[in-house]
Amino acid sequence: MEGKLLDYKKIKEDFPILLSSMNGKPLVFLDSAASSQKPRRVIEAFEDYYRCRNANIHRGAYRLSYEATDLYDRTRARLAKFLGASDPETVIFTRNTTESLNLVAYSWAMNNLNPGDEILLSELEHHSNLVPWMMAARKTGAIIKHIPLTDDARYDLDRLPEVLSERTRIVSVAHMSNAVGTIHNLKAIGAAARSVGALFVVDGAQGACHKPVNVEDMDCDFYAISAHKMLGPTGVGALYGKRAILEDMEPFLGGGDMILTVSSDSFRPAPLPMKFEAGTPNIAGVVAFAVALDYLSQVGLENIHNHEVALVKYGLEELQRIPGIRLFGSHDLEHRGGVISFLLDGVHPHDIGSILDEEGVAVRAGHHCCEPFMKKEGISGTVRASFYLYNGPEDVDALVRALQKVRSIFKAPVKERN
C-alpha cells in the first residue's frame, strides 16, 4: 500500500496486550479512539512509582515526598512543552477531558454568562463538549447554538456568520471528531470567535494524541486532553488555559492543596496551578503519563498522523469494495484523522460488533457519545474502526474479512443510493 507507514510491527512489540488473543484469534485492536493501549514502559513507570516512590506530594517533609513531588511537577513541565505552552503553571491536571471541560463550564461559564448570551457548539460534538455547556445554559439563561455542518461532516465555515453574533460568549469545538474522524480548521474558528470577543475552547481529546499541537499558535483560551487517549493511564487529564483567564476564575473544587490560607469562615485560593487541583491527585498516573509523552515525541506526532492517514486511505478503499457499506465523514484526507465510521445495509451496528469480536477484531459500535449527530443522520449509531501508531494494513484486511463474514451470516441486502 502507498503512504508513509511507521515501523508499526516493531512498535507493536512494545505493547504487551497487542501480542495477546481475543476469543481464540489474534487481537486486532481498532478502538484507540475510545482508549489507546499502553506501551510496556508506561506500565512499568506506573508500577515503579508504587513500588519505589509512593508518597503524597507537596506536603511531606521527607525524601520520598520530595521525589514524588519532583516527578509530578516535571510531568507538568513536560506536558506544557508537548502542548506548546510556555508557562507550565497554565497546565492544570484533571481526571480527563470531561472534567477539564466541566471545570471551564462551572468556574467560568456559570459565573460569567447572562440570560441571552450564546454558546456556540455543533451537533458533531462529543457529549463531553455538549452537556457541560447545556448545564451552564440552564443555570444562567444562556442560549445554545450550533455551527452548521457540511454533508461530509465538517464545520461549514461559510455559514459560520449565520450563527456567530455579538452575544456569542463561548465557542467550543473538537480538534478532531471522535465519531467520524473529521479534523477541523481551528485557526479559522478561533479567529471567528475572537472577532466577537468570545472564548475559544477546544476539546483536544482526539487531537493531541494524533497531531502536533501548539496552543499558543492556535491562540485558544482552553485546550482539554485525556492521557488515556495518548498511551497514558486512565484517570489523568489536563486543561491548558490562558493565565489571565485562569487567575480570574473561581476554584472548581475545594479542599486540600488548593488553598493558600483558611480561617474559620473564609479562605484564599492558592496560586496557579494548585488553585484548580484540590485533593490528592492520581500521582502514579501523572508520572506514567510523562513516559507516554516521551514515547509519542520519540515516534513523532507528524509521523503518527501520516501513518494513520495512510491506513485510513487504504481502509476507505477496501471497505468501499464491500457491497452495502455506507461510509461517514469526509473522503478528503486533508480533513481526516485515524477513524472510519460505517454501516452495513441490513445489519445493526451491535450485531456487526459482536461478530467482529468473535473474529478477534475490536471496534466500537453505537452512537459514540455523539447522539445529536446520529439523530441528524437518521441513524441510531455506526461501527467505528480507529487506528493508531501500532496498527498496520493487515488490521484493515482482518476487518474486511470479518465484515465479509457478517454479510454472509446476515445475507445483507444492498440498498440503492441516490
Query: What's the pLDDT tens digit per position in 146-174?
Result: 999 999 999 999 999 999 999 999 999 99
Q: How many CA atoms lie within 13 A of 170 on its CB side?
A: 32
User: Is the model's pLDDT at 413 over the cut of 90?
Assistant: no
Omega prior to 273 cis, within 30 of 0: yes
- Residue 220 annotated as catalytic: no
Please name the residue that has the C-alpha cell 486543561: 239
Q: How far apart are CA 130 and CA 40, in angstroms?
A: 35
Give residue limits of the domains in the chain.
Answer: 8-30+300-410, 43-297
What pLDDT shows up at residue 278? 96
The three-class DSSP label of residue 268 is strand
pLDDT at 412 over 60: no
Report how far apart the first and last C-alpha atoms of the chain are (Å, whole number): 31
- The string of pLDDT tens digits covering residues 312-358 is 999 999 999 999 999 999 989 989 999 999 999 999 999 999 999 99
- Per the CB < 8 A criterion, the answer to whether 398 and 313 are in contact is no
Convert the pLDDT of each residue in 5-32 to its tens digit: 999 999 999 999 999 999 999 999 999 9
Phi, psi of 281 (to 5 degrees): -85, 180
Give the pTM. Answer: 0.96
Q: What is the distance between the alpha carbons of residues 360 and 417, in angstroms, rounded to a whole number?
A: 31
- Residue 59: band (very low, low, confident or very high) from pLDDT cuts 50, 70, 90: confident
Q: Provide the 8-state DSSP code for 95.
A: S
Whether the Cβ atoms of residue 169 and residue 221 lie closer than 8 Å to each other: no
Residue 411's pLDDT is 77
Which grid cell is 33? 479512539
Question: What CATH number does the domain located at 43-297 have?
Answer: 3.40.640.10
Q: Is the pLDDT of residue 122 over 80?
A: yes
User: Rounded distance, CA 297 to CA 127, Å?
Assistant: 29
Quote the mean pLDDT of the chain.
96
Report the alpha-carbon angle 38-365-213, nearest 5: 45
Is the pLDDT reported for residue 3 higher than 70? no
**Is-contact 113 169, C-beta < 8 A?**
yes
Class of domain 8-30+300-410: alpha beta
DSSP letters for 177-216: -TTT-BBP-HHHHHHHHHHTT-EEEEE-TTTTTTS---HH
Catalytic pick among 52, 209, 220, 369: 369
